[in-house]
Amino acid sequence: MSRKLDLLREAKLFRLLPGKKESSRLEASGVALADATTALVIFDNLNQIARIDLSLKPRPKNGLIPAPSLGSGFEDIAIDDKGGRMFCLIEALEDFDGLLRGFVAEYDSEGHFVACTRLHTRFQKENKGFEGLAHLWHGRREHLYALREGNHGKSARYGGGRVDVFTRGRNGDWERSHGIGLPHTAHFEDYSALAYRYGQLAVVSQASARLWVARVNEKTYAIVPGSEALYRFPKKSYGNVEGIAWLSRDTLVAVSDRAKSGQPSRCAKKDQSIHLFRIPR
């Protein structure tokens, strides 16, 4: 059984960004929080990062900053809460050895490019790589949590969700540490977004239009048994949620991609937007 999320407020992104209009393509694919009042949004069709005031009203600080990268667009963004660095996820690119891997473009707190580093997981298709990213510190160790879009290579339509965890090596590379297999309660048709904060892991499925939340044992890196909960979005029109971030322990910021041509027309009402949802008590 799933409970319905409470919508707090939402807005079309073009209404919040200077110079944009309704016809602008703003294919939002990830979101992170710069601070308690500012969201950073990335797009899978733009090498830019949008700053959005969480009042979801036009504000002077709203705007786009360039984000040079190896790829064209990004799948998610994560923030280092200690230093303000930004990590933008590239779903999959062909590496020097001909294999497909995900990459992370790193920027300093002012948006200057620092490096682009591979994540060593191999993929079979460019459009079935990593979809979600979170950055955490465990003591002095720096970690990235990367969500696979597909069902972990399984032929089944549902299930097989997995998060690959990487630690920062001495030379600055990201080395694979371990994986987290998502349990039966998160057997979705696909996996489109990831958020990890307050000891809580949240995963979204775009196709299943569901949100899964669970606590993580930060000593064993395992899902705490019995902590899982499943939620649904308020209406069937939320079929394009591609990014999420924790604003508080019970509130999430989400962004939606552009509606696909084969989707019902109702999905266009909520696409290319930013939303705030509260988890019901």
Q: Which CATH number fits the domain that encloses residue 109? A: 2.120.10
Strand 141-148 and strand 130-138: the pairing is antiparallel
- How many domains would you assign to the chain? 1
Sign of the CA dihedral running 91, 14, 213, 1: negative
Q: How far apart are alpha carbons 32 and 40 in whole angstroms?
A: 5
Confidence (pLDDT) at 133: 98
Q: Residue 266: CB partners within 8 Å, gap ≥ 6? A: 235, 236, 237
Quick: pLDDT tens for 120-160: 898 888 778 899 999 999 888 999 999 998 655 454 455 66
Can you tell me the mean pLDDT for 10-26? 97
pTM exceeding 0.85: yes
Residue 89 has pLDDT above 80, yes or no: yes
Quick: pLDDT tens for 47-67: 999 999 999 999 999 999 999
Quick: pLDDT tens for 248-259: 999 999 999 999
Task: Answer whether 145's CB lies under 8 Å from 194's CB.
Answer: yes
Rounded to whole angstroms, what are the CA distances from 63 to 13, 66, 236, 242?
A: 11, 10, 30, 20
Token pair 């939303």 in the structure block, residue: 275
E-assigned strand segments in 139-264: 141-148, 162-168, 174-181, 193-197, 200-205, 210-217, 222-223, 229-232, 241-248, 251-256
Task: Answer whether 223's CB lies under 8 Å from 229's CB.
Answer: no
Can you tell me the mean pLDDT for 84-102? 91
For the chain, report the end-to-end CA distance as a whole number of angstroms. 15
Rounded to whole angstroms, what are the CA distances from 216 to 72, 197, 219, 222, 253?
A: 33, 10, 9, 6, 20
Looking at every residue in the chain, the average pLDDT score rounds to: 91
Host domain of residue 51: 3-278
